[in-house]
Structure 1
């Protein structure tokens, strides 16, 4: 089994994690590996500075839930020096501003199983989709790489609503998938 990335034991609040990018190319992005997943092919050709990863010292709480991973498209809602400071931070930390940034809770990742780590990374990757143009066709950058966009979760519903009223199509699909054997069984 390919050794999974581990965050440093003693680290600042954030640290670049290019080892996650390398691990992905050895496993999930590798067509010769058992864990290969073509669902992410729109990011296969993105470089480490375009699809960047970071370790965060810990997770954070949002809306009553613990956040252990986050995928984002860095954007700057400021001008002048404020914008330049934000850009400088990314350049100092990662070399440049990435197209997409995935940040993972280092404490969680140190303690979780291999399969939980892989599931977390893939969860964040599933937020990245190939952007469509105004006509619904896949959109590409001038260098030929897919334009990327962010999407929300496939299923977003409260347990109480499903318990009381039943699930919509997305919830029902998730239920069907849950009742099947998983495609991957990773030994920890």
Structure 2
């Protein structure tokens, strides 16, 4: 197992992303989180390596920051994993695909979204 403080330091969302007022939830790619997950959780050398997650090494996953959490059925959602599904056609599908290409360069199979407002202030353990 690796033993380096710099490898273990988790990524944080950009402060400007969290602190700027927006009338809507904004989303941005979090490539630094994916790199951290790959090196610390999925890699055999990672400090938080869990062999139960080995099947994810080759998965087509992208991670995003959402500027804030959202409420669903009376609960606050701080993170979400989803399989990308384009349940639309024509221009609706084209808009969704364009957004994916602008963010990631392709359309991923899975997206994990994290609430940046929460992740900016939570403990490393809670992260």
Larger Rg: 1
What secondary structure does 1:52 align onto? strand
TM-superposed CA distance for 1:30, in Å, is 2.0
Q: TM-score scaled to structure 2, two decimals?
A: 0.84
Match for residue 24 of structure 1 among 37, 40, 65:
37
Q: Which runs of 4+ in 1 moved over 4 A?
A: none
Q: Does 2:6 match 1:6?
A: no
What secondary structure does 2:48 align onto? coil
Structure with greater contact order relative to length (CA < 8 Å, sep ≥ 6): 2
Q: Does 2:126 match 1:86?
A: no
Q: TM-score scaled to structure 1, two decimals?
A: 0.58
**Partners of 1:52 and 1:93 in 2: how far apart?**
10
**Partners of 1:17 and 1:10 in 2: how far apart?**
14
**Partners of 2:65 and 2:29 in 1: how far apart?**
6
Match for residue 99 of structure 1 among 80, 89, 109:
109
* Backbone CA RMSD of aligned residues: 1.3
TM-superposed CA distance for 1:34, in Å, is 3.5
What secondary structure does 2:41 align onto? coil
**Partners of 2:100 and 2:47 in 1: how far apart?**
34
TM-superposed CA distance for 1:97, in Å, is 1.1
Structure 1 stretches lacking a partner, 5+ long: 118-188
* 2:118 alignment counterpart: 108
